[in-house]
Structure 1
Amino acid sequence: MTAASTPLLHAEQLSRVYPSGEGSVTALAPLTHSFAPGITAVVGPSGSGKSTLLNLLAGFDTPTTGRVVVGGTDLHALSEAQRADFRLATYGFVFQNHNLVTILTALENVEFPLTLAGMPRRERRDRARALLAQVGLENRASHLPSQLSGGEAQRVALARALAHDPRVLLADEPTGNLDSRTGERVLALLTGPARGDRTVVLITHDRDVAALADRTLRVRDGEVTLDRPEGVLVTGGGRRNPAE
């Protein structure tokens, strides 16, 4: 395995259990898995634990057991401030509801993470304009989120996620609000960089989207299995899915 293909993102005995009345609910059973570069699709019914997994991988939620290691850094050993800085430098996010800043234009939204990272104004503006052009929205650069359609807003969110060329990209239904043609364009942006050393983990209900992924994790009642294995996955019961 070359350095470029060495897994960057690891989950080690990662689990999340929530208290519920006098008992508890297991949202994610203990999971050990190395996410190889490329695209991993996460599929499963609503409420199965997909979003819990994504939130834990991002460090937005605290695991009950285990840890997330990114490039040798234990995400959950960092302070909240350190974790936020680490996310800014390493991660890109595409949320299902896009989460654009309502008072910023499309161009300013794409610029935002670059501003936080301290990139010079002219450089970040050129970068943001180029990304908007890639998602077909160069003519909507001055529009506020309220002036964009749902699909346009989602494409702006994708451009923002790619702004600082993140090593890890986490996406929740990135094509959910898009027509098929636009969805294909968005997937091309995801799959293009992912063929290098970027790690992309995306939640999807779309079988066509999942079919484009390099591997698929299926989540049901908090248990994770590999539909198309690559590497070794260990779930809560200790079951192993060997590499193909």
Structure 2
Amino acid sequence: MITLENVTKTFPSGEGVIRALDAVNYTFGPGLTAVVGPSGSGKSTLLNLLAGFDTPTGGRVVVDGTDLGALGEAGRADFRLARYGFVFQNYNLVQILSAAENVEFPMALAGVPARERRERSTALLARVGLAGRAGHLPAKLSGGEQQRVAIARALALEPGILLADEPTGNLDSRTGESILELLVAPARAGKTVVLITHDADVAARADHVVRVRDGRIERVEDHVPAH
């Protein structure tokens, strides 16, 4: 559970202050939540705060009883490693590492033994349909394949929280659908999955749709998603 308690985020600008988020209250629970809204509405700021990449100007972000703002930067980094998985829009793969090594990377940071890392990486790449591409560098993979590696990496430590920023935005519809299936699965298993999207079809698959505009939650739609 990630709870935003009266969260405000402002940024200085030449003309004063930009209020990216304005007194937001919401709890992200198990299942798939899609965050939608126009460009500049505060979606990316919200995701950064949920992850602890940034801290609120006012209010608190609380994850299972832990106030992220009270942890300090190093504490938040350790907390993220233990609790979160991330799927970035631009994949954020390490270019000098193979697909398998990219998946192993967070496990190495967490101190998982080498043999277990290799076994888990092999299983995850097979799960995302890339068993035959494990030794390839990112530059030798298509966009869809790189996104699959990113998802395998995000799942490597079996996180309770998965955050995704436009995970299907740069992909064709067929590849995007297969990527979405990989994100839906952990949500159905009781994980908390939050994704930013501009795609109405992707939002239709979510359990909850949070509509953001001008730094505020405009409305929340809870529904039975289309599978």
TM-score range, shorter chain: over 0.9
SS in 2 for 1:15: strand
- The answer on 1:165 being equivalent to 2:165 is no
The one-letter code sitting in structure 1 at the alignment partner of 2:120 is R
Partner of 2:35: 42
Identity rate, percent: 68
Alignment partners' CA distance in 2, 1:131 and 1:18? 39
SS in 2 for 1:18: strand
Say how many residue pairs are matched.
223
Partner of 2:139: 146
Alignment partners' CA distance in 2, 1:142 and 1:129? 11
Alignment partners' CA distance in 2, 1:229 and 1:217? 9
Partner of 2:65: 72
Deviations 1:174-214 (A, max 9, x none): 11222222222222221112123210110011111100000
Alignment of 1:19-58 (within 5 A): 19-58=12-51
Provide the alpha-carbon RMSD of the alignment. 1.3
Partner of 1:203: 196
- The answer on 1:111 being equivalent to 2:104 is yes
Contact map agreement 1:154 1:177 (CA 8 A) in 2 = no
Partner of 1:235: none
The one-letter code sitting in structure 1 at the alignment partner of 2:64 is G
Alignment partners' CA distance in 2, 1:24 and 1:41? 28
Alignment of 1:93-104 (within 5 A): 93-104=86-97
Instruction: Report the TM-score, using the length of structure 2 for normalisation.
Output: 0.94
Partner of 1:59: 52
Alignment partners' CA distance in 2, 1:41 and 1:33? 13
Alpha-carbon distance, 1:229 to partner? 4.2
Alignment partners' CA distance in 1, 2:215 and 2:186? 30
Selected match of 1:124 from 117, 122, 130: 117
Alignment partners' CA distance in 2, 1:156 and 1:111? 11
The one-letter code sitting in structure 2 at the alignment partner of 1:209 is V
The one-letter code sitting in structure 2 at the alignment partner of 1:199 is T
Contact map agreement 2:147 2:179 (CA 8 A) in 1 = no
Contact map agreement 1:111 1:125 (CA 8 A) in 2 = yes
Alignment partners' CA distance in 2, 1:198 and 1:122? 26
Partner of 1:90: 83
Alignment partners' CA distance in 2, 1:61 and 1:15? 12
Structure 2 residue runs without a partner (length 5+): none
The one-letter code sitting in structure 1 at the alignment partner of 2:200 is R
Instruction: Report the TM-score, using the length of structure 1 for normalisation.
Output: 0.88
Alpha-carbon distance, 1:18 to partner? 1.1
